[in-house]
Structure 1
Amino acid sequence: MQQTVIDRIEPVAEDVVALALRAVNGPLAPWQPGAHIDLALPNWLTRQYSLCGDPAERDCYRVAVRHDRLSRGGSEYVHRFLRPGRPLPVSVPRNHFPLEPAPEYLFVAGGIGITPIRPMLRQAIESGAAATLAYVGRSRASMPFAGELQAAYGDRVRIFATEDNGRPDFTTLAAGLGPGALVYCCGPAPMLAAAEAAFPAGRLHAERFRPVAREFAPDTAFAAVCARSGRTVEVPAGTSLLDALNHAGLPVDSGCREGVCGSCEITVLDGEPEHRDDIGAPGGRMYACVSRSLSPRLILDL
């Protein structure tokens, strides 16, 4: 973990605060637009937030947090109890939502989904690409950075406050895209579903707040052979690989426990994982919080 201290906390929209996390010991790890970090909160919870500042600013990370009324303890703690001056350990950034090179981009953000999109838009414009943003929210007052983005980028940014002027027509937006354009979308599930229906799958990159509900075959037991430690851990049906390893004294870092953050990534040396995550594990990797095994055993680099 990297050591930071909370430099500033400022409101940026209704129920949204932005945190500036200042480095304690030299430059922070570099990152690219689309990356997120884990915040190790003082109430023993770990939560993931997209970096929304400037990647060139190596002495400070910036995140924005909406107060979720159904909070499981993370956003509520940030809003009610964190104060400037508080030390806060953070992870090295991870990026499962990278910005790929393209001559044209359409960015679509819903509410707090603007956080990974904000630095993407900046990088795209600085690269000389044709880039526009469709930013959707209930009202302008609820949309973080809306005024700032319009002031900086003018008519490249279109604000859709749904209580005033409805939602954007994604089909019309799709029809206006050039042949090499990519679409980057982050927001609530209904908006992502509408985007997936309108934009070609090969051109749409989306990041979700929650995993898509999917069905898998019933869990089966398997053995996790930990090559470096010489231990074999039995993983019963109904118990996650993450929990089995932790209970056996082989702790694995974790965050969301839903297969969307990537913090519990482990290396598979042999065997056939059953990938149940939402972000697409790279070859030779799996996410222990949700994924299981299709073979009787997995050999892990643990």
Structure 2
Amino acid sequence: MQAQHTVIDRVDQVAEDVVSLVLRAATGPLAPWEPGAHIDLTLPNWLTRSYSLCGDPADQEHYRVAVRHDPLSRGGSEYIHHYFRPGRALEVSPPRNHFPLLPAPRYLFLAGGIGITPLLPMLAAAVAADIPATLVYVGRSTSTMPFAEGLRARYGDRVRLVATSEDGRPGLGALAESLAPDALVYCCGPAPMIAAAQAAFPAERLHTERFRPAARTFAPNTPFDAVCARSGRTVPVAADQSLLDALKRAGYPVASGCREGVCGSCELTVLSGNPEHRDDIGAPAGRMYACVSRALTPELHLDL
């Protein structure tokens, strides 16, 4: 996907350790998007990081994302917090959406901390369409919750802010009991919140997005060959090597962001062979994510 050229228009502190970036189109309108979408930011320190879009989908001149400074940062959030200033040029990917807002008669949105970002445009879209929607937004304190005050001012009693340092964690069981039978639930937050939502709500009505992949166990890695159909090359993938790293080492410019199977930037088309899907997105038929997924067959034939 071709990169889009933007300029950092604004950098705003929106909570403790959280900044909002407003990116302005540098050349023509930006690619359209829908609630739940995210973009990859290509950072000047050679890293690529994915962030949910949290602005207005109708505004094709600007994108907005919010970034929490992770104390265990691998160089992404730390660089953004320390070095990003208005006026800096920045390449971003076209939007991708693995967390779309499906039509429903009513919604319950559950956000934990920075997990509010993909839910902001969802709530706005529901309210604009006059669809009943409630947001339960959880954080350690309101000072750590980006956009909290603006949400309360804009949406009133549609929004419930829960500061766990004062109120404790909300009981999702009670929310599930009072949930209308035709409502969909959208949840984005840390792993304990996702687990609690999965225990409380029916799977067919719950849609989630994670910060980090769920802990799972797979069979030991084995080597395999990636057969690149268009170029006619075969790239061996060692047991201690990811498909993404093997392809990059061989000179294939495969995009990459999270390297954890949650952003989808390294999606590849599989022509034949059986991939072992290890991502948290749910790869569609004929696709795989090269950063974490491997092969169940000696060869994978890829559209490369």
TM-score when normalising by structure 2:
0.98
Specify which of 9, 13, 16 is matched with residue 11 of structure 2. 9
Q: Superposition RMSD on alpha carbons, in Å?
A: 0.8
Cα offset for 1:71?
1.3
Q: In the alignment, what sits opposite 2:294?
A: 292
Specify which of 96, 104, 107 is matched with residue 106 of structure 2. 104
Cα offset for 1:237?
1.2
Q: Which amino acid in structure 1 is aligned with residue 296 of structure 2? A: L
Cα offset for 1:110?
0.5
Q: How does 1:106-125 map to 2 (within 5 A)?
A: 106-125=108-127
Q: In the alignment, what sits opposite 1:214?
A: 216
Specify which of 250, 275, 286 is matched with residue 252 of structure 2. 250
Q: Which amino acid in structure 2 is aligned with residue 81 of structure 1? A: Y
Cα offset for 1:280?
0.4
* Structure 1 ranges of 4+ moved more than 4 A: none
Q: Which amino acid in structure 1 is aligned with residue 245 of structure 2? A: D
Cα offset for 1:251?
2.4
Q: In the alignment, what sits opposite 1:138?
A: 140
Cα offset for 1:179?
1.2
Q: In the alignment, what sits opposite 2:168?
A: 166
Q: In the alignment, what sits opposite 2:205?
A: 203
**Which whole-Å CA distance do the structure 2 matches of 1:250 and 1:68 have between them?**
30
Counterpart secondary structure, 1:243 = helix
Q: Which amino acid in structure 2 is aligned with residue 69 of structure 1? A: P
Q: In the alignment, what sits opposite 2:35?
A: 33
The answer for unaligned runs of 5 or more in structure 1 is none
Q: Which amino acid in structure 2 is aligned with residue 39 of structure 1? A: L
Counterpart secondary structure, 2:10 = strand
Cα offset for 1:165?
1.2
Cα offset for 1:213?
1.0
**Which whole-Å CA distance do the structure 1 matches of 2:155 and 2:205 have between them?**
23
**Which whole-Å CA distance do the structure 2 matches of 1:220 and 1:13 have between them?**
45
**Which whole-Å CA distance do the structure 2 matches of 1:295 and 1:127 have between them?**
48
**Which whole-Å CA distance do the structure 2 matches of 1:291 and 1:207 have between them?**
19
**Which whole-Å CA distance do the structure 1 matches of 2:69 and 2:225 have between them?**
40
Q: In the alignment, what sits opposite 2:129?
A: 127
**Which whole-Å CA distance do the structure 1 matches of 2:83 and 2:248 have between them?**
29
- State the identity as a percent: 73
Q: Which amino acid in structure 2 is aligned with residue 16 of structure 1? A: V
CA-to-aligned-CA distance 1:232-274 (integer Å, 9 cap, x gap): 1111212111111111112211111110110000000111111
Cα offset for 1:128?
2.1
Q: Which amino acid in structure 1 is aligned with residue 155 of structure 2? A: Y
Q: How does 1:75-86 map to 2 (within 5 A)?
A: 75-86=77-88
Q: In the alignment, what sits opposite 1:228?
A: 230
Cα offset for 1:58?
0.2
Cα offset for 1:295?
1.1
**Which whole-Å CA distance do the structure 1 matches of 2:167 and 2:4 have between them?**
43
Q: Which amino acid in structure 2 is aligned with residue 168 of structure 1? A: P
1:263 is the counterpart of 2:265? yes
**Which whole-Å CA distance do the structure 2 matches of 1:142 and 1:149 have between them?**
14
Specify which of 67, 70, 76 is matched with residue 68 of structure 1. 70
**Which whole-Å CA distance do the structure 2 matches of 1:98 and 1:261 have between them?**
14
Q: Which amino acid in structure 2 is aligned with residue 121 of structure 1? A: L
Q: In the alignment, what sits opposite 2:278?
A: 276
Q: How does 1:171-190 map to 2 (within 5 A)?
A: 171-190=173-192
The answer for unaligned runs of 5 or more in structure 2 is none
Counterpart secondary structure, 1:211 = coil
TM-score when normalising by structure 1:
0.99
Counterpart secondary structure, 1:233 = strand
